[in-house]
Amino acid sequence: MNRTISPLLTNILLLVGAMLVAVQIRLTITYGAPLYPSYQAHSPALYVLMITSAILSFGLTSLLKRRSGAAISQWQFYDLLFGIGVSCIAIALLMPQLSILQLVYYAVIAILLGGAVILLPARFLKKRPLNVSTSLTYLWDNRYLLRMWIANNVRARYTQTTLGIAWIVLLPLAQALILAFVFSRFMRMDVGDVPYVSFFFAALVPWSFFNSSTINATGAITGMMGLINQIYFPREILVLVKLGESIVDILFMFGALILINALAGLAPTIHYLYLPILFAITVALTLGVAFFLSYFAVLVRDIPQLLFVILQLLFYLTPVIYPSSFIPVEFRSLMLLNPLVPLVQAYRDVIAYQRPPDLISLHYPFVISILLLYLGYGFFKANERRLADFV
Residue 202 has pLDDT above 80, yes or no: yes
pLDDT value of position 1: 36
Compute the chain's Rg from CA coordinates: 23
What is the residue range of 83's domain? 2-124
Asked whether residue 72 falls in the same domain as residue 140, the answer is no
Asked whether residue 139 falls in the same domain as residue 285, the answer is yes
Q: Give the lowest-confidence range in 14-23, 61-70, 311-320.
A: 61-70
The 10s digit of each residue's pLDDT in 75-113 is: 788 889 999 999 999 999 999 999 999 999 999 999 999
The 10s digit of each residue's pLDDT in 239-251 is: 999 999 889 888 8
Residue 180 has pLDDT above 90, yes or no: no
pLDDT value of position 158: 67
Between 156 and 22, the more confident residue is 22
Q: What percent of the chain has pLDDT over 90?
A: 39
Number of domains the chain contains: 2
Asked whether residue 83 falls in the same domain as residue 149, the answer is no
The pTM of the full predicted model, rounded to 2 decimals, is 0.89
At which of 64, 93, 124 does a domain end?
Answer: 124
Asked whether residue 138 falls in the same domain as residue 96, the answer is no
Asked whether residue 302 falls in the same domain as residue 190, the answer is yes
Asked whether residue 192 falls in the same domain as residue 339, the answer is yes
Residue 279 has pLDDT above 80, yes or no: yes
Asked whether residue 82 falls in the same domain as residue 62, the answer is yes
Q: Give the lowest-confidence range in 51-65, 114-128, 294-308.
A: 114-128
- Residue 235 CA to its chain's centroid (Å): 21
